[in-house]
Chain A
Amino acid sequence: MKNSILAGLILISSSVLISTSSGAGEVTSLRGPSELDAPSNQVVIKRNINDQAPITREYVQQPPLIPHKIKGYRINLKFNKCLTCHSWANYKRAGATKISQTHFADRDGEDMSNVAARRYFCTQCHVPQANTKPLVENSFQPIKTIH
Chain B
Amino acid sequence: MNIKSLISKMRSPSSATLGSLLIAGFVSGVIFWGGFNTAMEATNTETFCIGCHEMEANVYQEYKETIHYSNRTGVRATCPDCHVPKPWIHKIVRKIQASNELLHKALGTIDTAEKFEEKRLQLAQNVWRSMKKTDSRECRNCHNYDSMDFAEQQRRAVASHSKGLEEGETCIDCHKGIAHSLPALYEVDPSAVTGSAGH
Interface residues of A (CB under 8 A from B): 50-53, 68, 72, 74, 77-81, 83-84, 87-90, 94-95, 113-117, 120
Residues of B within 8 A of A72 (CB): 65-67, 178
> Across the interface, do B191 and A51 meet the contact criterion of CB distance under 8 Å?
no
> Which chain B residue lies CB-closest to A80?
B192
Residues of B within 8 A of A51 (CB): 154-157
> Across the interface, do A78 and B66 meet the contact criterion of CB distance under 8 Å?
no
Residues of A within 8 A of B67 (CB): 72
Contact A90 B192, CB 8 Å, known A72-B67, A79-B185, A95-B159: yes
Cβ of A64 to closest chain B Cβ, rounded Å: 16
Contact A114 B185, CB 8 Å, known A50-B154, A95-B159: no
Residues of B within 8 A of A94 (CB): 160
Q: Is B193 an interface residue (CB 8 A)?
A: yes
Within 8 A of A (CB), among B62-118: 65-67
> Which chain B residue lies CB-closest to A85?
B192
Interface residues of B (CB under 8 A from A): 65-67, 154-157, 159-160, 177-178, 181-186, 189-196
Residues of B within 8 A of A116 (CB): 194
Beyond the given A79-B184, A79-B189, A81-B182, could you list 19 further A-B residue pairs with CB under 8 A, ordered by the A residue number?
A: A51-B155, A52-B155, A68-B156, A72-B66, A74-B181, A77-B184, A78-B182, A78-B184, A79-B183, A79-B192, A79-B193, A83-B191, A89-B192, A90-B191, A95-B160, A114-B190, A114-B191, A114-B194, A115-B194
Pairs of residues from A and B, 10 with the lowest C-beta to C-beta distance, nearest first: A87-B191, A89-B191, A78-B184, A83-B192, A51-B154, A79-B185, A120-B194, A84-B192, A79-B182, A51-B155
Bound together, the chains give a CA A12 to CA B67 distance in angstroms of: 55
> Across the interface, do B183 and A78 meet the contact criterion of CB distance under 8 Å?
yes
Bound together, the chains give a CA A50 to CA B159 distance in angstroms of: 15
> Across the interface, do B194 and A117 meet the contact criterion of CB distance under 8 Å?
yes
Residues of A within 8 A of B192 (CB): 79-81, 83-84, 87, 89-90
Residues of A within 8 A of B182 (CB): 74, 78-79, 81
Residues of A within 8 A of B189 (CB): 79, 84, 87, 89-90
Residues of B within 8 A of A84 (CB): 185, 189, 192
Listed by A's residue number, 29 A-B pairs whose Cβ atoms lie within 8 Å are: A51-B155, A51-B157, A53-B155, A68-B156, A74-B182, A77-B194, A78-B182, A78-B186, A79-B182, A79-B185, A79-B189, A79-B192, A81-B177, A81-B192, A83-B191, A83-B192, A84-B192, A89-B191, A90-B189, A90-B191, A95-B156, A95-B160, A113-B196, A114-B191, A114-B196, A115-B191, A116-B194, A117-B194, A120-B194
